[in-house]
Structure 1
Amino acid sequence: SLCCVTVNHILLMMLVLIVCLLLHSKLFRGPSRPKLKRTERASKGLVEKAAEGEDDIPVVICAAEERMGGAMATINSIYSNTDASVFFYIVTLRDSIKLTRPSCKILEFNPMVLKGKVKPDSSRPDLLHPVSTHIHSHRKVIYLDDDVIVQGDIKDLYHTKLEKGHAAAFMVRSMGMQTTYMGFLNYRKQEVRDLGINPSDCSFNPGVFVADIGEWKKQKITKQLEKWLQENLKENIYSSAMAGGVSTPPMLIVFHDEYTIINPLWHVRHLGWSPDARYSETFLQGAHLLHWNGRFKLWDYPCVHLDRWEKWFIPDPTGKFLLVRPEGKI
């Protein structure tokens, strides 16, 4: 629904605003989580982790309560396809914590930091409830949307070599979709034209990215992103209707021509753009990460390649997130 999409874009913006805090947390550095054999992970599912360690691969996922089942499937797919030690951070609102606390570390974020930077969502007043965030420090971090399934070994994505001076690595948008800066920025505004960004330049998809925290801090990326949030509040240089949320346009501006490109197999996108468009089975087998970006989500129907997601689906003991297909549909 539109409300869920809006909430998730707000949560992604929360991630953007807290990612540089990875360098500043002074939490106790506990021991790494003991490694489990792949068969043990499959049987135990998502286990309680006491503390994150230095050698863990940090993966951050933003998820509203309505989409938490998607996030759990994402986590399960990652665990089941790697022998690496992975630690998950779930960025969410207080109302969702009860669904995830047994599984991963929760980042209780205070949406008040968005006050004066984005327009309040009147349909979700709970977005203004004050909460707090504490996060451990890491050299790099992976961010994933909650409508993602990982089929490859997550450590390969984590070891993406970022070019010198780049704070993040993204995947360029493919042909035929919302691919250029024209689709995200309002070029009728002088402030946008003054950026000198060609409206036909290819955009990138921020639903999957690897961030170098040292460069992020050095370049003051968070301050730059906050600046463009505030500028949009004053000048409407982009809009949710045109740009698909508040998080993508500022990232496109800040990282224009200043990012490393992720291996395309680590971000196979657009599975949620149409209930009819499908990839070949051979191509899907070789893809390391599948992303159902678009309106046709993998926990709804209709949606393509549901079998790829159902393989990692975890039943929700609260009964709030169920795997339901119309009778007779496969």
Structure 2
Amino acid sequence: MFLSRSVLGVVFSSTLLLLLLLFPVKSSRLLKAGAESDLFIEAPVYQNGPECSVSAKQTLICDPSLVHIAMTIDPQYLRGTIAAIHSVLKHGSCPQNVFFHFIASGPSSDVNHYTRTVKSAFPSLSFKVYVFQEKLVKNLISSSIRQALDNPLNYARSYLADMLETCVERVIYLDSDTVVVDDIQKLWNINLTGSRVIGAPEYCNAELAKYFTSDFWSNPEFAKVFEGRKACYFNTGVMVMDLGKWREGDYTREIEKWMRIQKDKRIYELGSLPPFLLVFGGDVEAVDHRWNQHGLGGDNLVNSCRPLHPGPVSLLHWSGKGKPWVRLDASRPCSVDSLWAPYDLYKFQLPLDRFRFDSL
């Protein structure tokens, strides 16, 4: 595992500081800042090792040698998405064989902005931007305990089998607040045994009951869904998904069924996660916990920081309210944010040496 703490220092002139104030990362105006190359520096070129197979460019998206990664892309998390891409390429043994599928919402003009933005940072990256039709889920979403969880784009992961080309039979789904510090090929190569559609780190010590309301558990028809299943919590921000099996089982419709029940009966509080637990809990391929060290976002409202969990780490996940780019820009970073900063390609980042991080 390589966790460099070095980062490119940026000297701010009054002009650049004015740009930062006019076009903050959290604003939707990020995509309207003019030339996209003004937002991110170009990443280094990462090339395949000698052991990598050569992709057939004429049928690239269907090439069996590719590693497929799906992520959502939106203005609020764009800086995180760029950092996540950078981390995957930097640590990958075959970075040129990675194909990214970015799921966006909004008009086609936004899609063009995203395309140019990604190309400005990664000129040779293989990727495609898809438009998620929010109308698919808008009438199915019920309010959750956090407003951010109600964003229709959070539900796009349930529609990957419908959106991606049918030749794409496996994909790694990653949240935009992650960085990979290991070879993504290792995660790609896990075996989904039997009928299992999803591979993810499981957390069987977590109390599953708390993810559903008393109305759910008091209804025999609902509660029996877990009968005979050793269902454990898993975080849907990092998943290996067999899209072939997903299509065969029509699991998108299964998830939509539970969303309709939720709309009527209020059986859970946490957005897009509980339907996945209901459909796949107890039949998930358990992946080593090193592939999702989650919860690093802590609670930004009370300025709480989470330490790293003990043990090896292959993927860091800033799930929770606090995002590293927001905390760094506010000059209130947590120690773990120093592990995200080396992958940040945002031109107007604050120099890392201005912060004093506690040892991790």
Closer, same or farther: CA 233–268 of 1 in aligned 2, 3 Å: same
- Of 53, 69, 73, which residue of structure 2 is paired with 1:63? 73
User: What is the RMSD computed on CA atoms of the aligned residues?
Assistant: 3.6
The higher relative CO (CA closer than 8 Å, separation ≥ 6) is in 2
Separation of aligned partners in 1, 2:185 and 2:278: 29
- 1:172 aligned partner, one-letter code: E
Alignment CA distance shift 1:65-1:326 (3 Å): farther
**How many Å apart are 1:229 and its aligned residue?**
0.9
Contact 1:181 1:199 (C-alpha < 8 Å) held by counterparts:
no
**What is the aligned counterpart of 1:40 among 36, 45, 51?**
45
Question: What SS does the aligned partner of 2:237 have?
Answer: strand
Residue of structure 2 equivalent to 1:86: 98
User: Which of 303, 311, 314 is the equivalent residue of 2:342?
Assistant: 311
For residues 62 and 183 of structure 1, do their structure 2 counterparts lie closer, same or farther at Cα, with a shift above 3 Å needed? farther
Considering only CA atoms, is the larger Rg found in Structure 1 or Structure 2? 2
Residue 181 of structure 1 is matched in structure 2 by 208
Q: Which residue identity lines up with residue 276 of structure 1 in the other structure?
A: C
Which of 307, 311, 314 matches 1:278? 307
2 CA distance for matches of 1:210 and 1:181?
Answer: 21
2:201 aligns with 171
C-alpha deviation, 1:187, in angstroms: 3.0
Tell me, in whole angstroms, the C-alpha distance in 2 between the residues paired with 1:182 and 1:163: 27
**Matches of 1:183 and 1:326, distance apart in 2:** 42
CA–CA distance in 2 between the matches of 1:303 and 1:198?
Answer: 42
2:190 matches 1:160: yes
The counterpart of 2:111, out of the listed 97, 101, 119, is 97
For normalisation by structure 1, the TM-score amounts to: 0.71
CA distance in 2, matches of 1:277, 1:127: 28
Runs (4+) of structure 1 moved beyond 2 Å? 38-42, 49-53, 94-100, 123-128, 133-137, 191-202, 273-277, 322-330
Amino acid of the residue matched to residue 151 of structure 1? Answer: V
Q: 1:323 to 1:198 in 2, by over 3 A?
A: farther
Measured against aligned partners, the alpha-carbon deviations of 1:106-143 in whole angstroms (never above 9, x if no partner) come to: 1111101114322489x999969xxxx95323121000
Q: Tell me, what secondary structure is at the counterpart of 2:76?
A: helix
Structure 2: which 5+ residue stretches go unaligned? 1-42, 48-56, 119-126, 154-161, 328-332
Q: Helix, strand or coil: the match of 1:258?
A: coil
Q: Do 1:180 and 1:199's aligned partners in 2 also have CA atoms closer than 8 Å?
A: no
Shift of residue 198, structure 1, vs aligned partner: 9.4
Among 217, 222, 237, the residue aligned to 2:267: 237
1:147–1:292 contact (8 Å) kept in structure 2: yes
Is 1:262 the equivalent of 2:287? Answer: yes
TM-score after normalising by structure 2:
0.65
Find the residue that maps to 1:138 and give its secondary structure: coil
**Cross-structure match for 1:145:** 175
Is the 8 Å Cα contact of residues 187 and 193 (structure 1) preserved in structure 2? no
In structure 1, how many angstroms separate the alpha carbons of the residues matched to 2:143 and 2:295?
Answer: 29
Q: Is the 8 Å Cα contact of residues 142 and 262 (structure 2) preserved in structure 1?
A: no
1:223 alignment partner, SS class: helix
Cα gap change, 1:237/1:164 in structure 2, threshold over 3 Å: closer, same or farther? same
Between the aligned partners of 1:260 and 1:69, the Cα distance in structure 2 is 31
Tell whether the 8 Å contact from 1:147 to 1:291 is kept in structure 2 after alignment: yes
Q: 1:287 to 1:145 in 2, by over 3 A?
A: same
SS at 2:225 equivalent? coil
* Alignment: residue pair count: 270
After TM superposition, give the deviation of residue 327 of structure 1 in Å: 6.0
Percentage of pairs with the same residue = 22
